[in-house]
Chain A
Amino acid sequence: MPSHQSAQVNTLPHPDGSATVSSNGYTVLCTVNGPLEAQRRDEQPLEAFIEVHIRPANGVGGPPERSLESTLLSFLHPIILTPALPRSLIQITLQILSVPPTAQTLRTGSAASVARIALLPSLAHAAQLALLAARIPMRTVACVASLAVVEGTGEVGVVGVGETGGGKVEAVHAVGYSRQGKCLLWEMSGRGDGRGMKAVEGEARRRCLVEGGKGEDVVMGGVEGRREDLMGWLEGTIGGWLKGQQRWKGES
């Protein structure tokens, strides 16, 4: 699973926090600045004001980016401990660096909604890593898995968005879980029903959190001692960066 993901923290020198994340063939660079002084009309007396900007890989942003921004903002709002920084501004800017060449090959109704769902994990992970690097207080950390429901015989087949292998896709989902196992995001597009949702929920939980994945699916080729769920990967990434930050302590 996380084998095709990669992340780097603090890739840029000047912003308060930054991160580059690649998954599903998308690469996203996120910078976070904050807490800054908010404009008077944006200032909120009891909590921080969050601004999210998304810039596409080419051209200037349009309605699709505005729509993604509003989704990402609602996703991040309960994660960031906004009451800790009242009257301030947290500015989150995401630049999409590269998109997969086969972005439109999934066979489902709307190529736009598939692209959107395939992009959401990179955006969510990059934003959170950059927020952590900027030392913005946060309630929790959440990871997002993008899944595809493949048309099968009876059984509901749920695979990663990049693992459909040319099969007919019934629906695509992006599901996000916090460390505490709370579902913070669920976007779906396609055809589905209650039964399909149950299968997607189980698979998403398994991919996001280690509790769901225990005992089954021993990952081949994984580095020993490294958890192979998304949360483990996210924690490992930020842990590795923190270790690098604190190296000077040991050298004294």
Chain B
Amino acid sequence: ALSLPAPIFAALAPSSFLLAHLTQPQSSTKKRKRPSVRPNGRLATESRVPVINTNSLAHANGSAVVRLGDTAVVAGIKGELLYAKDIPNPPPSSKRLREVGGSAPPLDEDDEAKSLAELGLLVPNVELSTGSHPAHLPGTAPTALAQTLAERLLETLQETRLVSLDQLEIWGSRSTMARDEEEMDVDASEEQRDDDGDETGKESIMAYWAIYIDILFISLDGNAFDAAWGAVMAALKNTTLPHAWWDEEREMILCDADLERSRSLTLRGLPVSVSFGIFDSTAEPRMTNSTAGADAAEANLGSGRWLLTDLDDSEETACKESISAVVDGASGALQLRKLQKVGGGVADLAVMEEVLKLAEQRWKEWKRIL
């Protein structure tokens, strides 16, 4: 009979290869059914253990290397200054005033999220073309996958309200001289003069920290988003911004080189991304499985369908349906912050409930190491 070595079988027919593994015949000596084992040796709902190294980059404000099996990601955080005078259409929140040295007037949660998005202070970027995967050739323009990942990271950052705006604001009061000069330049309207009258002795926002989040995939073996989000979380948690202040004479922001005076970012909650795939062997009529029988391992969704967690690259090509959830259990009960389910119709409400249950376990796993 014609037989192929396992790697060639896997490359030619990833779906059949996965099915053959999941339905391995059971040993007849044991009474209990053995669970399905995937080609990578994991059980159906077993995830790879994340490994995190933080602050390994010398010139970044914060950084992290996250590994999920053979998926390895580096995230670097760099804070850059955005002067308020350079913002063309500033949102209302950037015109707030405060007493010198006092605390800023608090912002409504929704206004804050809106301002943060409008100012564009969080800028994630994903680079896949590093030789991380044969499908993403080095030296090419960002692929659709890289752009999709970056957009999803940005949406998740905005939706979870991870970074509060007040940590990124740099306050200061403009000198009276500078204000007089400006008044001479601008044809001051009555309204403006009123504003200036209020401004004496008060501080306004002079600049913002813009947080650039660069994510580099060293190696991609499936589940890119979970790894990338884990790296973003780990890097942001270890980010310190230098002490910055407005210098009235020089009319610019100065940063303190003293590390003692720098402060670390505080994050809201602990959102974690958990991704799943559904392998439906019944959707492909060409696929026959000779080993499927009474002795074969049972599918966890029944009749030739499996719910798999943390897919690797070959499983991603075989699983058409995917579920990706961002969950946060920091405030007690598990909250679902984002969900994306596409590609098939196997998952119903019962599967979704199972997904939430597994996501809670996975959240605890990430919490331990983040």
Contact = CB atoms under 8 A, between A and B. Distances in A.
A135 interface: no
A64 B120 CA distance: 14
Contacts of B286: 46
B352 interface: yes
B96 interface: no
A197 B349 contact: yes
Contact of B147 (A63, A182, A183, A184): A63
Interface stretch (A3-11, A22-30, A185-193): A185-193
A164 B215 CA distance: 37
Question: How big is the B interface, by class?
Answer: 35 or more
Interface string B153-165: 0110011110000
A194 B158 CA distance: 22
Contact of B117 (A112, A192, A194): A112
A201 B333 CA distance: 21
Interface in B321-356: 321-322, 333-349, 352-353, 356
B342 to A, nearest CB: 4
A203 interface: no
Q: Which of B283, B336, B347 is the most central at the interface, judged by chain A CB atoms within 10 Å of its CB?
A: B336
Contact of A109 (B113, B322, B347): B113
Contact of A191 (B114, B154, B337): B337
Given A109-B159, A112-B117, A201-B349, A191 B335 contact: yes
B152 interface: yes
A97 B158 CA distance: 26
Contacts of A18: none
Nearest to B331: A191
Interface in B133-186: 144-145, 147-148, 150-152, 154-155, 158-161
Q: Which of B114, B148, B321 is the most central at the interface, judged by chain A CB atoms within 10 Å of its CB?
A: B148
A132 B337 CA distance: 35
Contacts of B336: 188, 191-193, 197
Nearest to A74: B342
Nearest to B157: A110
B198 interface: no
Interface stretch (A65-73, A87-95, A233-241, A242-250): A65-73
A178 interface: yes
B360 to A, nearest CB: 10
Given A67-B147, A67-B151, A187 B341 contact: yes
A63 B150 contact: yes
Given A63-B148, A110-B117, A190 B337 contact: yes
A115 B195 CA distance: 36
Contacts of B190: none
B70 to A, nearest CB: 23
Contact of B322 (A74, A180, A197, A201): A74
A33 interface: no
A64 B151 contact: yes
Contact of B339 (A66, A69, A182, A187): A187
B249 interface: no
A220 to B, nearest CB: 30
Of all A-B residue pairs in the complex, the 5 with the closest CB atoms, nearest first, are A182-B345, A110-B158, A74-B342, A188-B339, A66-B147
28 contacts: A66-B144, A71-B340, A74-B342, A74-B343, A108-B110, A108-B159, A109-B113, A110-B117, A110-B158, A112-B155, A112-B158, A113-B158, A183-B347, A184-B342, A186-B339, A186-B340, A186-B352, A187-B341, A188-B338, A189-B337, A189-B338, A190-B159, A190-B337, A191-B335, A193-B333, A193-B335, A193-B336, A197-B356
